[in-house]
Amino acid sequence: MTPRPHTSGPVAVSETRPLRALTLRQPWASAITELGKDTENRTWRTTYRGLVLIHAGLRTDPEAARQMPRDLTMPAKAVLAVARITGTHADCGGTCSTWALPGHSHWQLADVLPLPQPVPVPGRQGLWIPDDDLRRRVAAALPPNPTADLATALPPNPTADLATALHTPTSIPPAPWCPTGPT
């Protein structure tokens, strides 16, 4: 499978919306980080748009792992990347992405910024709000410069803007819990 760059055109990274995190089973979290997976398949929809921490949970999907490249790294219980949820839509019959599964809601991901080192933390189900400590640890782990494929999608100094967004605590209560499908 050929990795595809995550781009959605020029966008500002600093946002007033709260940062969320999403826990996924491996190899799906690493596929987002390393293989260009641009669609997350869920059994439920979300209205959330904005920055999301990609968190690798403890569990693995063994069937999916067998289909991935052997050299794919699959850390567990850690944040692997920061991405942006740009939209969601109902099943499109697989026309939106090679990663889209039939019968699922497709969450569109863009502007994926892998962390140089995973940031260890237990996960939760659904979209969850990272606490201030995790925000600080992820901000500190950000790479100093974006990779070439992100340079066109992010502002000139995305790390500073993203660090600001990550350091901004939120007083907004978490979204109502929604049942997650396999993660």
- pLDDT confidence of residue 98: 73
User: In whole angstroms, what separates CA 28 from the centre of its chain?
Assistant: 10
Q: List, for residues 80-94, the tens digit of each pLDDT value.
A: 999 999 988 887 776
- pLDDT confidence of residue 12: 31
Are 147 and 102 contacting, i.e. CB atoms less than 8 angstroms apart?
Answer: no
The candidate with the shortest Cα–Cα distance to 3, out of 92, 69, 59, 86, is 69
Are 54 and 22 contacting, i.e. CB atoms less than 8 angstroms apart?
Answer: yes
Residue 16 has a CB neighbour count (10 Å cut-off) of: 8
Q: Which residues of the chain have pLDDT under 50?
A: 1-17, 147-160, 169-183
- pLDDT confidence of residue 173: 37
The model scores a pTM over 0.85: no
- pLDDT confidence of residue 132: 85
Domains of the chain: 20-166 (2.30.130.30)
